[in-house]
A and B are shown apart, each in its own frame.
Chain A
Amino acid sequence: MVQFILERANYWAIIGLMMVGLYITFQSANMIKRLVGLSIFQTSVFLFYITLGKVAGGSAPILFGRDAKGHGAKVDHSADPGTHGTEVAHAETHGLIEIYSNPLPHVLILTAIVVGVATLAVGLALVVRIRESYGSIESDEVRRMDIGVADAQDADALVEATS
């Protein structure tokens, strides 16, 4: 039982961080604070993903020692590009000596970090435009102004219909 909890405590802590980010996004009326909450949520998801790729006793996925050698004496793989059937045997002959963590989540998260910054930039540009048009970045004030404008338009339409 203790073993079970210790093995998953990291996941639970990350879920806690995720929920803190979600709470900031929900609760705050200020749009920049909301975006900060969103990026905290996002970073927590990255942490979760990277945790799943961790291998016990492993090191960073950069080949070293005897794994990195044999570079010059490598099998000429490029000469026969059509032989996909031999690839399994090929992989077996190149068994690794050291233990490495899983590189695939790292690659996916690298892409996600950069895309996350791109979306953050678009979000911030929208906030700046909202500030230009409404003079406020508090979402409840912006909503109140929108409702005020809609009410005024309704009243105008009513006056036109009755006259």
Chain B
Amino acid sequence: MDLGTSLINVALLAMLFVVAVAIIRMRSLFAIVMLAGAYSLLSATWFVVLDAVDVAFTEAAVGAGISTALMLGAMLLTSRTAKSERAILGVVPFLVCVLTGAVLIYATIDLPALGDAASAANSHVGAQYLERVQADTGVPNVVTAVLASYRGFDTLGETCVIFAAGVAVVLLLGFGERSLSARSDKGRSRKESK
């Protein structure tokens, strides 16, 4: 990897760290949600550096766009600030996180080096897709070809998951009769209290 790319790597990782640590310190939920959107956008930029342009596109649209909108909506329906945490309670999670991180870093010693073309992940199925895609599908974008053609059933399953999630949200929040009655009940009690 050349110097320019390394510098971009370091800068993006530093920004990701700053944003993540800022989220720990914040109490205003609006700021937290906005910083989460910024985190998504920064990671989308990093995906571009790592050659994953399709992933970057999706992360920017879905991760930074739709999730942020969803979280803002939920924040408006609930509350605007988080309660301040007691400092003593933070010690145990901190120790657990440090321990987990240490174990994971120990596990990376066995991993192939970054950018290793001969690693197990890069040399078998992925390479096969790259070599065959032109003859099999004629689509130059390999990610699209794998997503929609080779692994089309995966994408169908994904659509089922999204449908199930949508149904779950509708069942939880309620639309039509239930939500309307709830709203009019609230309005009535508010009028009575006045």
Contacts and interface: CB of A to CB of B under 8 A. Distances in A.
A18 B104 contact: yes
B52 A62 contact: no
Interface stretch (A66-74, A143-151, A152-160): A66-74
Interface in A1-45: 4, 7-8, 10-13, 15-24, 26-30, 32-33, 35-37, 39-40, 43
A4, A35, A91, A101: residue with the most chain B Cβ atoms closer than 10 Å? A101
Contacts of A58: 51, 115, 117
A131 B79 contact: yes
A20 B89 CA distance: 16
A104 B146 contact: yes
Nearest to B120: A52
A46 B50 contact: no
B7 interface: no
B55 A109 contact: yes
Interface centre among A74, A103, A113 (most CB of B within 10 A): A103
Given A39-B63, A47-B43, A71-B134, 18 more contacts: A19-B101, A20-B17, A33-B32, A46-B55, A47-B46, A55-B117, A56-B114, A61-B141, A77-B136, A99-B117, A103-B142, A107-B151, A113-B62, A114-B158, A118-B164, A120-B71, A128-B173, A136-B79
Interface in B56-94: 58-59, 62-63, 66-67, 70-71, 73-75, 77-79, 82-83, 85, 89-90, 92-94
B121 A23 contact: no
Contacts of B67: 39, 117, 120
Interface residues of B, number: 98
Given A68-B134, A74-B138, A54 B155 contact: no
A54 B51 contact: yes
Contacts of B1: 56
A27 B130 CA distance: 44
Contact of B98 (A19, A110, A132): A19
Given A32-B33, A36-B33, A75 B162 contact: no
Nearest to A120: B67
A8 B111 contact: yes
Most buried by B among A32, A62, A107, A118: A107
Nearest to A33: B82
A13 B93 CA distance: 19
Give 9 closest A-B pairs by Cβ, nearest first: A56-B115, A26-B93, A118-B165, A7-B113, A30-B82, A102-B126, A124-B74, A101-B51, A125-B172
A155 B74 CA distance: 37
Contacts of B20: 17, 20-21, 24, 40
A28 B100 CA distance: 18
